[in-house]
Structure 1
Amino acid sequence: MKLKLLKIRNFRSYSNEVEIRIDDLNVLIGRNDVGKSSIMEALDIFFNGKPDFSDLSIGAGELQIDITCVFSDLPDSLILDDSVSTSLASEFLLNDDGDLEIVKQFKFSRAGTLTAESFIKCLYPDNEALDDLLSKKRNTLKLQLDELGIGHEGVNRTQSKDLRRAIRDHYYPGQEVQTTQKLIKIEGKLDNEDNRKKIWASISKYLPIYSLFFVDKKLDDQDSDIQDPMKEIVKEVLGRPDIAPLLEQLKEQIQSASTVLADATIEKVNELDVTLAETLRSNFPKEPSWNTIFKLSLEDDRGISLNKRGSGIRRLVLLSFFRAQVDRRKTDQAPNVIYALEEPETSQHPDFQMMIVNSMKELAETENAQVIFTTHNSNLAGEIPKSSLRYIFKEDGNTQIESGTNEDGTDNVEIIDRIIETLGALPDPKNKVKVLIFVEGENDVNGLINYSKMLNNHDANILNLDNNESVAFIPVGGSQLKFYVEKKYLDGLTQAQFHLYDSDKPEYVQKVQELNAENNPRKIGFNTTKRELESYLHIDAILECYAEKGIDITLEAIEEDTDLPLEVAKAVHSVNGEGTWEEMHSDPRLLIEKQKSKISRVKQRLNTDAISKMTVPRLQETEGFDEIVMWLNQISDFINN
């Protein structure tokens, strides 16, 4: 499951309900004390804890906090209360968008006593006779089936899901089940015999792990919230697919053996007092908390733990944690995790700031990971796609949240401009730039820069584009904030223009023809002779870069028309043993999204890691040496003239 939407009401500055869209990467921006950290702490309460009375919004009309999370990318089937699979859709537990929406309500008394309840907001059958259907265990369902006179034919009476289906069909004979929006309570003030407790325990196993890092809080021996990456490592390992079943098996064995002993005790009580024995039964009131059993820490040779070190040291360890997660998640199965971090720039050298932001961007691109962080740093924010930006502000006394892009994917210009104003000055290239280099996307930027570095090392006379202040890259589809700023600054300026586009898209071939037809000596365009920029890679460079990560892929020979990123993505997918490329998901829309995501990650790696394995002889063998040198020489001529 992946978090899709967060709703908060009556929590701190969020008195009115606000919604925040959650993507794979989310960067929260706003002025101090506007409510950025509150969003991350609201999620921590949802997944891991409970609020304090002081968390209620000042002047709240009622003593209740609501935190709602909406999840997408749901499992096609899951085990709820039987040993057989069912689905959230067939149990009518999805909202009108087909997502899982969980509402947690925290109610306070005037004395500050807290009551917590959880609900699933869903389109549920509108017949009141079915309202308590999920609360009934199998034996009760069988009794109801008999009371309603429902025949046994076609009903598997050993499966609760079949019994519930038969009862629903009884109330909607020969017609589609009519639904209405309802809140189905799944946690809080439920009798131990209520089947919904078992259903919730099953669903909660599929929820993401939420890891919040506030590592610069004031240290206090009594502060239980001090965060340590080692704690999160244990939590994540416990959720792995190869570990979780073992823990479940151990839990069942312990509970079974303990129940036998407890029942034997009740039998002895029965010999002494029958009335008392009838009121007793064995029960485990809550699930075991394995992460409180296993303790992992980092200590120096003096035995001083990480939590007792300075904030700069703890941030370096945190940086290393995120970098290690990036590498591991590319080659290993892992549970869904949401990582949240406050201001990665704090107490760090600018180089380390950029490393941690790049690590978090890469982490967000891996399977089953989402990232949220706050920042006040304009340079860091400039590296983030506009679609990942969330701007938090107050208007008319209410806290509001807006995204950097609209729902249709277009730029939310007003909000982006407010983000720029809030962050302060972003890089202004207009006084130094001599050449604008137009490419299709950010991967092409990386590819061209990395080829130029390699060729410059071979011949110092060849232009090196890395950190070259004379050029500004303008991805035609550029999504990062810095590209928005550069485009805005460069509108109407007279720099020379160099355009480079792949040849696989007719619209870009046409664009280059039209541009060159202007006969403007300060403008020139090229299409790649090969299919795309990745096509100039040598197959050995690709195999080596993946082997270095422990992924041994097999590729056929690269032909002129080979869609290389697609073929590499398929090869990596096959090695990871995740089923066929065409069957990653039963939903065609989600299938396309997953395939695009994998291809995007491959493109990023090809234009960085694979190019680092390229040599001049390899580039000559793929017939790309002369062409790429010609491009760089043309850019150099523009700079010097």
Structure 2
Amino acid sequence: MQIRDVFIRNFRGVASARLAQCGDLNVLIGKNNAGKSTILDAINGFFRMVATGSAVDLEGPLSKETNFRRSADDERLEVEIWFGLSPDEFSLIHELIVDEAPQMRNALEGLDTSHALAVTVAAAKGDPPYVYIKSIVLVRKDEDRSADQILLDVGGPAAAELHKKAREAQRFADQARDLEAIGSRLERSDFSMYREGRYSRELLTSIISRSSSSRPRVEVVEDVERILRESSDLAEAIQGIESLASIARKKQEDLETSELANSVDTFSGQSARLPNYALAILQFLGRTKYLHLRDRRSPVGREEAQQLLRLKVRRGGTETLKNIQDTVQSLMGVVIDAFESQPEGRGVRGLNTNAEMDVDEVLVEMNGAGIREALRLVLDNELKGPDVLLVEEPEIHLHPALEMSMLRYLRSASTRSQIFVTTHSTNFLDIYDMRNVYLVSRDNDVEARLIDFVEAEEAIPQQLGLRLSSLFMFDRLIFVEGASDEAVLREIAAKIGLNLGRAGVGFVHMGGARNFTHYATESTLAFLSRRRVQMTFLLDRDESTDEERRKLEGLLGDRARLHVLLRRELENYLSIPAAIARFIAGKKGRAAEGDSVTPEEVSAQLDQVAELLKTNTLERALLRKFCRPLYIDRDRITSASRSADLIELAQAEAARAAAELDERIVELSGDAEAETAKFEERWAREKLALVPGHELIDGVCQQYGIRFKKERDAQRLAGQLDQSEIPEELARLLREVTR
């Protein structure tokens, strides 16, 4: 049976969550503390329960869970899993029901493999708490539950009664086990010690304990004392103990087979007993092999070495070992093997073991964390062969290349096992075609939403280069011109105590302001708005005009925010003398005491370099204003009446463009002086904000024999800023984005 849907209710911080339409490989993404591991724990707890093959589990992990939502007492913790049914599996269920209730054969005719088997495990607040099978139902569609066929439904009173009977039956089973063990192992010397009075209650308890894996109950010790006291010889004592064991077994069996005072619902109606077909279904499900690999995994070592070593001497084991070795070598590029440890030399000092594992002829314990973590996952999966594999953060400690190899391995392994993975790796979305990715988020409640990749691929043109992880793993996106802008903003955010990762902030690199309209398309904005992603477009000021900014804001509307820097570019905010002095000193390696750089010197250099850049900066401003592109508008031609002559329309449009060009010539000759005067007025007070920031800082650095490359050095320079030097404009922007 394969998991089709998972429903979780009132589990830890989850009020109600669902994994819908599960496939072979299911990937859960989301921020820290969103609830990804909680979902895997719930699935693990479900299988721990059904593995007992019983309707009640007295010690399952779900019984120890707490509903941190502090919901009402009647809101029980529930984990419901729907299993898809193959024709053979459906036939098995059909036969089990008919064998027990032949009169229901006709009622089963309307059921087929379009139904799923829905099994619900619930935790009740007893003393102590316990877990039980709440229901087993054949469901067709979740939209119309009227077609459901109940195979078993256990109400609260019936569950409490089953729990009470199970506890009493367990008590008698423990008594019988201890007494049977004592009866088979009681020695003549034990009996003689008692008869001679050379014993104590504690000594007798220890004698009994050596026959059992747990400390015996007080009543068992008292019963054994009484029998020893009343028996004339060892044979009579053993007979008395075995008789008590038989009585305990009989009480256990009577409890397990007795009718319930509170009936349960079954396929054929209400019943005072659990139907045998329901218990058979649970036992069938209980044979499901499951494996939960948590984010904190035990190191690979002796146990795995012994398992590999046993394969060498087991019939057919060498082929299995070869397959495992080939898998590891193709995945990680290393060769593993296991050997008997040698008395001298190669054994791990201080370890009592007879097997050790080598990775490329080096003890596994001597390898790095990445190799050991990858081996942990691969060996557990290959040696244990689970039907359901739950993996938390398989990318931990892995190099990006090995991370991608691990993803390929999981995709391959999902043809043999159904796999559920939690991850923070964007590669799991960006590299391969994924169809079962769930975005887990927490607002008032945990929500697991199946990502619609088809919609994303239709809405977001591939040529934009937007990674799918940017669309689904972040709640807030900042569109910046390049990678150095992201690096600077992240550095500043860290300095003012903002955790961009925790706030779900991601960055998209547009490759320059010229690409703004490509990213601010209607389809992209509409899709991200439906995803409730907050969008901020951050642009350098350069020589942009107020009119141009208004046009850009019009494209975004109220779906995204546009922030145009008050200074020319981000690097202008880094032109702080003290920070640049520290940057230069650090890059030069503080060569000599007499070669130190002072903020005063840097301030003077900034002023001098800015003057050198003045003419070029003015020319760029004039060129931007007067030499902007002039286009022949095709829409004006094609949208006109079809009765008009195409040539005439084209000539009219060309005449319009020529007239606009004449206007620009007049404008250039008349306004150039005015624009220059306006520039000069601003220059006196804003020169360091007007010139290209990266050229300004590089010019200063050249005076000290070094270079400034913004792609490499911008983040490093931002790291030199003191708290008091953080630009308020950028700090305010980041606070607003993360609010």
TM-score under structure 2 length normalisation: 0.34
User: Highest Rg: 1 or 2?
Assistant: 2
Higher helix share: 2
